[in-house]
Amino acid sequence: MSKKESFIKEVEAMISLTGGTPEKLFSSDALDFWNGLQMTGDNGKPQFTDNGKLVLQYMQNNKELHNNLFKAKDIGEGLGISSRTASGAMRKLVSDSYVEKLGESPVVYSLTEAGINVNFDEE
């Protein structure tokens, strides 16, 4: 068992002993950190970056409006971030198979089935 896994188990045990839930015991920032810590992959990195999460949620919420075809520029404008920032988030989402890259000029992205089915409310 890794040190991280051991730490998570110990915190879960302490939460259980108090009879509370993380939502009742932690501040908002601490709860965000705790949820992120639990959602890390085998490499110890969070499953989603903050920007990746924003981009994926934007795509999920606007897929009908855009026919599930998005340009980084449009995502950036919709979120109030630069298209470069949106593109950076897209690279990880593509490599993790939540989004697929379609075409080269212009580059267009589409949600995969995995990207459509991610539910951030369950975090």
Q: Structure tokens of 62?
A: 């606007």
What pTM value is reported for the model?
A: 0.62
63 assigned to some structural domain: yes
* CATH (domain of 75): 1.10.10.10
Structure tokens at 30: 């601490």
Facing residues of 61 across strands?
none
Q: What one-character-per-residue DSSP string does 31-80 give?
A: HHHHHHHHTB-TTSSBSS-HHHHHHHHHHHHHTTTTTT-B-HHHHHHHHT
Q: Within a domain: residue 118?
A: yes
Structural domains counted in the chain: 2
Q: Are residues 116 and 63 in the same domain?
A: yes
- Structural domain boundaries, residue 90: 50-122
List all residues 6 or more positions away from 10 whose beta carbon is below 8 Å from its beta carbon.
none
Residues 34 and 68 in one domain: no
pLDDT mean by block of 10 residues, the chain; 123 residues: 78 85 82 71 66 93 90 93 92 90 89 88 58
